Homo-oligomer: A and B are copies of this chain.
Amino acid sequence: MPARAKAGLPDRCVACPQSTIGFCGALFNACLHNSSLRKINPRFSTVRAGQRIPYQSQSSGDILILCTGWAFRYCQLADDGRQILKFLLPGDLFSPATIFSEHQSFFVGALTDVQVGRMEASEIRKKCLSDEAVMLAVFNTMMDDGQDAYQLLATLGRRPADARVAYLLLNLMRRIASRSVIPDHRYPLPLRQQHIADAVGLTPVHVNRVLAQFRDQKILTLAGGTLEITDLAELERIGSLA
């Protein structure tokens, strides 16, 4: 019995179906076949939906990567509101910045039950210095985060409710599709309307109305954890930037 099955992990990494090692993702795709990287021995743990996931205990110095399930980075505001900054999919790092820095200003919450891999930050740091591919992968991960953040900024700052929701869904669709084959425009999407609201700066009630409007216009339906797209062109017309 392979070690991964013993650890209660799915046999294949959702992020990289072609791979059987337990951590990969944007950062590690570039180095998957670099045998020296496998020396970074990951450990795994499980977190229930709804729990906050500490990802930067000063003592531990661990880098966390999402192996299965969904999570999200968010900012907690004084007045009980929260802003979701980015949804994390299997393969995503909780916080690339913690490789080189202690302080981060956001939290991470588990959207579904999740499995989390942990690696020693010091090991990754070492690799960054010795292996150009690893350093580039880390850079690219941070760059993608930055690009996503800037696009979301433009969306929140300047665009109406329907465009915001459409943008979020398109963004998630793209990222989901990059991780698994989606044959029939049906995407697994375990979000509550509350999460969408927290991500695009609207109230859940208003998100509901926007989704109802999309449904009426036969653009999409979102129910039971599945997003089904029926008019992609229209969704893109509404949601894409520029």
Contacts and interface: CB of A to CB of B under 8 A. Distances in A.
Nearest to A146: B146
Given A81-B158, A100-B139, A152-B153, 14 more contacts: A73-B150, A75-B150, A77-B159, A83-B154, A83-B157, A101-B143, A104-B147, A105-B150, A142-B143, A142-B146, A145-B146, A146-B146, A157-B199, A158-B201
B140 A105 contact: no
Contact of A136 (B100, B140, B142): B100
A184 interface: no
A228 B129 CA distance: 46
A200 B201 CA distance: 13
Interface in A182-216: 199-201
Closest 10 pairs (CB-CB, A-B): A157-B201, A83-B154, A149-B149, A75-B154, A156-B156, A83-B157, A97-B143, A81-B158, A100-B139, A78-B242
Contacts of A200: 157
A192 to B, nearest CB: 17
A76 interface: yes
Nearest to A202: B157
Contact of A153 (B99, B128, B143, B156): B156
